[in-house]
Amino acid sequence: MLGNLFENWLLKLVSLAFAIVLWFFVMGERRLEVAYIVPIEYRGLAQELMIANEVPSSVDVRISGPRALLMNLSSSDISIAVDLRALSAGVTSFKRLEESLNIPTGLKVTRVSPSYVDVKLERIREKQVPVVVSLTGVPSEGIMVDTFKVNPQKVPVSGAESELKAVSEVSTEGVDLTGVRESFSQTVALSYIGKYTGLKEAKTVEVQVFLKPDPDYLPPQPEPPAEVQLNTGANPQ
């Protein structure tokens, strides 16, 4: 019995090794489909232009192919490049994004979502707009605002040309006057949030508020003392 077991042992060992190799080969050639989140790189944008619409930063990609190849592929190995070189202001549609995928030979892209990207390019412009001071609260009784100053009076805003046309001023954050009795100077942050425009340099301004007595203010008058009647105890006749 044992003799039969060890008979032709070399041939049996080779057969076992061949079976293992064949199993790995079959498993490696088995086709799978795997989903990846692939980043999009926007390259070659000219300095005088900017992207002025919402564009995806990544796409969902499904790739099929041999299991052995897919198991060695990760999202960090894949990217999609959108070439913006030589483009002028306007909207450009980039279709067939799968053609830009850098995947190994033997793999196939079965789905890309979204399947295309629309990129709107606009010229970058800049203009000076006045600063509007926002005062909140009320000074102490008998005190009123005489005048106020802001330095600088205008600040530069830059960004997409179409949005910049609608920007006419920039406001400060609120300067609180509650209970204030004397003139003061304060550094105040500018309150501006644009979608495709922004403050180019200055983020704060200096605000000076000058107070004075209110000429129409009448201080409260003390109440007169209450009249006191003396009772002598005599009954009138």
Measure the CA–CA gap between 215 and 211, rounded to whole angstroms: 12
Q: What CATH number does domain 124-213 carry, 3.30.360.10, 2.40.50.100, 2.40.110.10, 2.170.120.40?
A: 2.170.120.40
pTM value is: 0.70
- What are the residue ranges spanned by the domains of the chain? 30-115, 124-213
Residue 223 has what pLDDT? 76
- Assess whether the region 30-115 and the region 124-213 belong to the same CATH fold: yes
Task: Name the band, by pLDDT with cuts 50, 70 and 90, for residue 218.
Answer: confident
For residue 235 the two structure tokens come to 């009954």
3-state secondary structure of 68: helix
**pLDDT score of 135 more than 80:** yes
Measure the CA–CA gap between 159 and 200, rounded to whole angstroms: 9
**pLDDT score of 226 more than 80:** no
**CATH class of the domain defined by 30-115:** mainly beta
| Number of Cβ within a 10 Å radius of residue 115 | 11
Which residue has tokens 């300067």?
175
Residue 61 and residue 21 in contact, taking contact as beta carbons nearer than 8 Å: no
Q: What is the pLDDT of residues 156-207, one digit of tens each?
A: 999 999 999 999 999 999 999 999 999 999 999 999 999 999 998 889 999 9
Of 106, 101, 110, 111, the C-alpha closest to 28 is 106
Residue 22 has what pLDDT? 47
Measure the CA–CA gap between 92 and 120, rounded to whole angstroms: 6
Maximum Cα–Cα distance across the chain: 155
The more confidently predicted of residues 115 and 228 is: 115
Measure the CA–CA gap between 179 and 176, rounded to whole angstroms: 9
Single-letter amino acid, residue 10 = L
Residue 130 has what pLDDT? 97
Residue 206 and residue 151 in contact, taking contact as beta carbons nearer than 8 Å: yes
Residue 229 has what pLDDT? 57
Residue 2 has what pLDDT? 46
Give me the mean pLDDT over the 2-30 stretch: 55
